[in-house]
Structure 1
Amino acid sequence: MSPQRYVVSLLASAGFARAYTLAGLGAVFGTFLIERMTSAVTLATIVIVLAAIGAAVLVTRREELSLLRFAPTSLIGFIALALVSLLWTTSRSGTMTGWLTLLGFTIIAVTVGHVRDTLQTVRALGDTLRWLLTISLGLELLSGVLLDLPLTAFGIEGNLALGGPIQGIFGTRNMLGFVAVVGLITFVIEWRTQSIDRVLGMYSVALGGFLALLSASPSVVVLAAAVGVATTALTIVRHAPAHRRVAVQWILGALVAVALGVAFALRHLIIRLLDAGSDFSTRADLWNVILDYVAQRSATGYGWFGSWAGGQYPVPYINYQLSDHHQSALNAYFDVLLQLGWLGLALFLLLGGVATVRSWLVASVRRSVVYAWTPLLLVTLAVESMFESFTLTGAGWVLLVLCALRAGQTRSWRQNIDDAQTGTIPTLGPQG
């Protein structure tokens, strides 16, 4: 076999697909650790190499792919708008860097979404988060109990013996809490699908729950409540008779709307109960300043730059007004609004909203519990986006693209066109 044919065969193999998925997920969830242990250049190089390999895998597997179902239209529109923002941005180099970063993580997510099915993705994510959360716990034990010294190289303050807050290898307590909740959802799905044995399942769930608790992140409480409500609602729908399922969906939707209204009315009481008054006050001040700048460019925004680390206008002025050093808008929706205007926000909401509806409808009729992973993860991302901008970069963006791609593959108008061309009759019955 010639070297060229060997490389093509390797890229198209199932073993390489699994290895690539683990490497990709490990890199995107370990971005903070990689950057702290090496440098931002090393992290960028890893992302570029993974994106290049992913593109090569997609080209190698092009005959297995359908152009119509390659990626959601809203995703393509969002990325295109981020690139077009080069025309009005105040820093073209910053926008190009931010866009290339966004594109790199998108290619990784799209590649994983096409070479792995839902269960395989869940298992790969479960393996990745198990290792990373275990490493986080080990380093926190070393720092907070054995040495009683902060491990500044990893960003660990060593507060484990004090009951938290802890950061693990994810940089902040909020990021650790978010990853732990994602891990809990994934571990439970793994356990329920018998992808892992009982002992490993119990360890994984206990690990995720323990780290979520010790992160002492106010958003974890809200995330846990939202996921709990979504899980209960989805369980009710899945067990409802087929002829009553639509009515049950509407009733549950109405109840959720009422609950959101009540939560908004009692928001001050809820904030006090969560002991998050200072956090919310900080966010409210930041959002008010952001809205002042949005009013000046509400249609287009200031150009895509993703993370605020580059200091692109108007970030320095926002931080100067607040006498702070924010690295994001602490809200994905405000961040998109600031960078890409109302059109960008509409595309972002469309990307997540359509994916949530599609995946929810699929999960409500399919027997296998693995289909619940996508809508529950999307609910987690939507709620977390109200408190942090994780969904726009790194692991959060990869999860969003993965879920949107998965939802589009299982229930989409493009699937109907594709099936009509191939003579396949689409079905959405109670198959496993």
Structure 2
Amino acid sequence: MGSPGGAHEPVRRYVSAWIGFSAGGHFSQALAVAVVVYAFSAHAVRALIGWPGSLAVLVSLVALAACSLFGQRRHIEWHGILPVSLIALFGWWAVSVFWSDYTWATIGGVAYAVAFGALGLYLALGRDLVQVVRASGDALRILLVTSLALEVLSGLLIDQPIRFLGIAGDLALGGPIQGIAGTRNYLGFLAAFGLVTFAVEYLTRSVAKGLGLASCTLAALCVLFSRSPVTAAAVLALVVAGLALRSLRKAPPTRRPLIQGALAGIVSLGGVVAWLSREQIFPAVDATGDVDVRIALWARLRQLIEVNSLQGWGFVGQWPTEVFPFSTLLTPAGRPSATGLGALFDTWFQVGLVGVLLLAAAGGLAFVRAWTTASSHPIVAYVWPALVLVLIAVVSIAESYALFEGTLMLVVATSAIAARKRSWRSRLEARPTAQFR
């Protein structure tokens, strides 16, 4: 007679073989590209196959990522990889279920955020930094080429909007264009993210020179035609940050603290000057209308924040526009707004002052770690997490992308990558056990 477990032996062999395959380099890199493509095109995916189909894709990617990490478990250093501040932020989002007036929406929003956070953790753990940059570059080329191709089709060939994707077809007029991102600001954000990623790919020689230059040109065209004031400010910040990092990396280690202090002073002064000159700057970059919309929405949010200023109304991420009080927060066109158009006010509204402090702590700590590493690490790829966090921070002033989907995944990934080099927990060594004879 066969052994009791003999009938299950083929199943175990199949599962073992699949786990081994999913841990392989080719599969892991392909999965990383698929993760980034999906995370930053979730709007288009929902437009094509609806929420049920999009959620099925998300669950499948999380399951495949978990399987891949399980297969690589012996090669992954888990100790101290996920920052405590980020754990506390996600924990506070989850705890908000207990006082939320829209409990099921909060449960769904937290689960959705955790899923994208898990994908970000997969990128940080399952791939090294150069591989993450390369996967992001491949994914962004797919997204930007698709966006520009659809804009050419809509604006030049058929001269009709593609309404279900949110494409207005204004390319012939010089923009603004939206591509598969849904809005000009989000397409501009993806293009700016592409500029950072393609530049780092080029500097690390991860791609051929021709492909690197063509990718940067593609991203620049998308930035130009998106005509996004938010993206214009972000690109300016990226140029300043890139030049600052270049000077720091070339400076002797003994002079870096002095240069860091001088840079902090210059940035602070520049921020003050920009704020004082805002009435001249906004019309110059065609941002007056966008600013007026945000000021009106934030004024309404402040009224709601006063009701639950400490703990907020309950986390949902991207707003469920059919649920109160989100259904009362309308755009000038009379439609409910999908976000708070700013990570600060949106976080304060959803999870209160405590949530704002936790978000600031998580983001600030991640940036300090990433910037410090980028300033001194000999591998140029380490400038990527620092510049990506600069981009997210600037865009978060006027958009809430950091609270959901691809940008949230990117925050988790860059925070974990930065913590790998600078986490205080990674420096803790196990105390040797005393030996008694």
Do both proteins adopt the same fold according to a TM-score greater than 0.5, normalized to the shorter chain? yes
Q: How do 1:15-94 and structure 2 match up within 5 A? A: 15-94=26-105
Q: How do 1:151-300 and structure 2 match up within 5 A? A: 151-300=162-311
- Tell me which amino acid in the other structure corresponds to 1:12: A
Aligned counterpart for 2:145 among listed residues 126, 134, 139: 134
Aligned counterpart for 1:302 among listed residues 302, 313, 329: 313
Unaligned runs of 5+ in 1: 424-432
Kept in 1, the 8 Å contact 2:19–2:70? The answer is: no
Aligned counterpart for 1:392 among listed residues 403, 410, 433: 403
- Taking the aligned partners of 1:298 and 1:284, their CA distance within structure 2 comes to 19
Tell me by how many angstroms 1:320 deviates: 8.8
- Taking the aligned partners of 1:422 and 1:136, their CA distance within structure 2 comes to 55
**Helix, strand or coil: the match of 1:305?**
coil
Tell me by how many angstroms 1:262 deviates: 1.1
**Helix, strand or coil: the match of 1:327?**
coil
Based on CA coordinates, which of the two structures has the bigger radius of gyration?
2
Kept in 2, the 8 Å contact 1:286–1:322? The answer is: no
- Taking the aligned partners of 2:276 and 2:291, their CA distance within structure 1 comes to 16
Q: How do 1:327-342 and structure 2 match up within 5 A? A: 327-342=338-353
Q: How do 1:109-128 and structure 2 match up within 5 A? A: 109-128=120-139
Which residue number corresponds to residue 428 of structure 1? Answer: none
Unaligned runs of 5+ in 2: 1-9, 433-437
**Helix, strand or coil: the match of 2:181?**
coil
Deviates more, 1:53-62 or 1:141-150: 53-62
**1:168 and 1:232, CA in 2 relative to 1: closer, same or farther beyond 3 A?**
same
- Tell me which amino acid in the other structure corresponds to 1:115: G
Which residue number corresponds to residue 353 of structure 1? Answer: 364
**Helix, strand or coil: the match of 1:110?**
helix
Tell me by how many angstroms 1:380 deviates: 0.3
Tell me by how many angstroms 1:322 deviates: 9.4
- Taking the aligned partners of 2:331 and 2:371, their CA distance within structure 1 comes to 43
Which residue number corresponds to residue 429 of structure 1? Answer: none
- Tell me which amino acid in the other structure corresponds to 1:145: L
Q: How do 1:405-424 and structure 2 match up within 5 A? A: 405-417=416-428, 420-421=429-430
Kept in 1, the 8 Å contact 2:166–2:182? The answer is: yes
- Tell me which amino acid in the other structure corresponds to 1:267: R
Structure 1 residues 347-366: Cα deviation after superposition (integer angstroms, max 9, x where no partner)? 11111111111011111111
**Helix, strand or coil: the match of 2:195?**
helix
Aligned counterpart for 2:374 among listed residues 363, 378, 381: 363
TM-score (norm 1): 0.94
**Helix, strand or coil: the match of 1:308?**
coil
1:344 matched to 2:344? The reply is no
- Tell me which amino acid in the other structure corresponds to 1:25: V
Structure 1 residues 89-134: Cα deviation after superposition (integer angstroms, max 9, x where no partner)? 0011100110110011011110111011111000010001011111
- Taking the aligned partners of 2:121 and 2:431, their CA distance within structure 1 comes to 23
**1:318 and 1:169, CA in 2 relative to 1: closer, same or farther beyond 3 A?**
closer
- Taking the aligned partners of 1:104 and 1:146, their CA distance within structure 2 comes to 39
Which residue number corresponds to residue 109 of structure 2? Answer: 98
Which residue number corresponds to residue 435 of structure 2? Answer: none
Give the count of matched residue pairs: 421
**1:320 and 1:59, CA in 2 relative to 1: closer, same or farther beyond 3 A?**
same
Kept in 1, the 8 Å contact 2:293–2:331? The answer is: no
Kept in 1, the 8 Å contact 2:140–2:194? The answer is: yes
- Tell me which amino acid in the other structure corresponds to 1:221: A
Tell me by how many angstroms 1:32 deviates: 1.4
Kept in 2, the 8 Å contact 1:149–1:158? The answer is: yes
- Backbone CA RMSD of aligned residues: 1.7
Which residue number corresponds to residue 7 of structure 2? Answer: none
**Helix, strand or coil: the match of 1:259?**
helix
Give the % identical residues: 34
Which residue number corresponds to residue 9 of structure 1? Answer: 20
